[in-house]
Every structure is written in structure tokens, then in C-alpha cells.
Amino acid sequence: MAIKRVNQYFGFDCDLVIDVRSPGEYNHAHLPGSKNLPLFSDDERAVVGTLYKQHSKEDAIKAGLSFFGPKMQEMIHRVETWIHEKYKLSPDEKCVAGQYTLLVHCWRGGMRSGGVAWLLDLYGFNVYVLDGGYKAFRNWVLAAFERPWPLHVLGGNTGTGKTKVLHELARRGKPVIDLEGLACHKGSAFGNIGMPEQPSQEMFENLLAVELHKREGQTIWIEDESIRIGHVNLPKNFWVLMGRSKHFLLDIPFAKRLEYTVEEYGKLPVEKMVNAIIRIKKRLGGLETKNAINALVEGQTAESFEILLKYYDKWYGKAVDEKDLTENNKIRVYCEDTDAKKNADKLMADII
């Protein structure tokens, strides 16, 4: 078979992207939206790799074939199942392989992807292999963070409802990337409570690069963040670019922000909130930590959050000052309250 190859992932029109690397490789990080159809399990991959290094290529291939053979029928079945799910085919509706295009890849576009591509092509699917594999994709990802993307950064103290304003802008057709959504973390010491498990650093970068390319040629709205969001970091060059970009700072009265924060976080489990407060004890100070925890435990949520909000205001103010933004790059947007629709209206009417 002459394997058809394509040197791009983003923008390639196909029905499924299939990652044939081992589950461990895939779970660590993968092409967004891809499906895992592992040629080898993690243990099998280790066996093949050891044979290749310590014996010969031929021995490794023989072992690989012994693992691959019994899986062939099930692999075909899984691809058909994914097609049925994606296009909502009825259970008795036949998946006509020739009607669907698949993009297959492994680590470097070598034997693993070649073997699975051969099988799927033999069955009748229209199959392409990603030239250079996942390694080439990662190079594409890292190159994305060297580019001078045009950004609008939405800032403001804690409790201004920045994320909801961004979502409202997105609903109105503005190009928006929700960094906290990609990171599965809301950015503060309390940001992981009630959130899904965070992606790996590599996976976070993959997701961000794809979202940036989706908005090619547009000025992208993002939320002001520190370089670290939970346990993932924004790529350094991209974070520096954010710091130099135009900032729109929502300025909302403290009382309204406190009300919003209590509504957003007040229903979270008290034990997890206490643990989060303890994590910032060093910067919050012993007395304020004690007062915030006592108020929270005694059901005085607003009193506890008032202490925390003042703490976050202090640190956010320092962070904005350190960026040394010019007057043209620091625009304050005065809002009466935290109503996302009204504040999006104000951004669009006064600035955009």
C-alpha cells in the first residue's frame, strides 16, 4: 500500500483523527478531539521497545505483530462505533467505510501508524497518515506561542465576573479564549474546587494552540491571568505577550464584587474552602487566616470573603502595576454591578 500522507493536522478535513500511541502516551497529552486506538498497550510497547534496543528490529516487529494480529477485528469495530456515535447513525445502519476519511498518527508517523493505516485502508476507509506524527504536531504547537497574536485582555479585581463577561462576548460572536476553562481551574487558591481534573502541561498547551489558530486573523479576548493557573503554566512568551497587550479593567464597587463572590463560592464545601485558605496563609497572614477561617466555619460567609477579597485586591493591584502598561494600553471600564450582559454592552459600546 502507498500510504497517503498529509503534513498538517489543523484544517485537514477528516471524519476522525486516530491516535495509535499507547494509552499512557495518549492520556498524558494528545491532539484535541482525537480518538485513542492503541496498537500496543503500555506493557506491550515496553516489550517491543526493549526488543528493538537490546535485540533487533526484526525481533521487535515479530513481537509487535503477535500483539497486533488478535486486535485487528476489534480495532475496526471501534472505528465503526465512533463513526456511528459522531454521525448518530442508527444501530442497524451500515457504516460504509469508503465514505469516511481518517487521519492516523503515532509518535513520529512511523511503523505504528503505518500498521494501523494499512489495516483501516484494507477495510476500505480513506486513510491518511500525519507526516511526522505527534512530534510534528508538538512543534506546531510550540511555534504558535512565538507569534504576536493580537489580544484584548479583560482584567479587573476578583469578583468582577470577568469569565461571565467573556462568555457573553463569545455568545455575541466575538473571538474569545477561556484560559481558565482550558486549564479546568478558576485561577485562585479556590479555583480547583468543583472543577474537573486539570490537563497536563503539555495537553494545556495543545488545547491553547488549537484555540489560537481557530481565531487566526482576529483580535482575541482573553482573561487576565497570572502565569500559573492551578498546576499548569501559560507558555512564557504568550504570557509576556499578554502583559504587553491592551488591558480592559472592569472597575466595580467592592460591595457588588463581594456579593458576587459570596454567590459564586458560598455554596462550596466548607472543608475545602478552609484548606484553600490555609494554602495562602503565608501571604494572607496568620491573624487574617484565623479570622477568615473562623468566620467561614461559623457561617459568616460574607465576613470571611471580605477578608479574602481585600487580600486578592492587594495582590492584583501589584500585578497590574508591575506590567507598567501605558495609558493607551490600560483602559478602565466603570460598571455599576456584576451583570455580565450590561458589562459586555458597555465594553462593546464604549470600546469595541
Backbone angles phi, psi at 36, to 5 degrees: -95, 115
One-letter-per-residue 3-state SS of the chain: CCCEEECCCCCCCCCEEEECCCHHHHHHCCCCCCEECCCCCHHHHHHHHHHHHHCCHHHHHHHHHHHHHHHHHHHHHHHHHHHHHHHCCCCCCCCCHHHCEEEEECCCCCHHHHHHHHHHHHHCCEEEEECCHHHHHHHHHHHHCCCCCCEEEEEECCCCCHHHHHHHHHHCCCCECCHHHHHCCCCCCCCCCCCCCCCCHHHHHHHHHHHHHHCCCCCEEEECCCCEECCEECCHHHHHHHHHCEEEEEECCHHHHHHHHHHHHCCCCHHHHHHHHHHCHHHHCHHHHHHHHHHHHCCCHHHHHHHHHHHHHHHHHHHHHHCCCCHHHEEEEECCCCCHHHHHHHHHHHCC
**Which positions are catalytic?**
106
Distance CA 283, CA 279 (A): 9
Q: Which residues contact 56 (CB under 8 A, 6 or more apart)?
A: none
* Neighbouring C-alpha atoms within 13 Å toward the C-beta of 202: 13
Distance CA 131, CA 163 (A): 38
List the chain pLDDT tens, one digit each, 352 residues.
Answer: 567 999 989 989 999 999 999 999 999 999 999 999 999 998 988 888 888 888 888 888 888 788 888 899 999 999 999 999 999 999 889 999 999 999 999 999 888 999 999 999 999 999 999 999 999 999 999 999 999 999 999 999 999 999 999 999 999 999 999 999 999 999 888 888 888 999 999 999 999 999 999 999 999 999 999 999 999 999 999 999 999 999 999 999 999 999 999 998 888 899 999 999 999 999 899 999 999 999 999 999 999 999 999 999 999 988 888 887 888 889 999 999 999 999 999 998 866 5
**For the whole prediction, is pTM greater than 0.75?**
yes
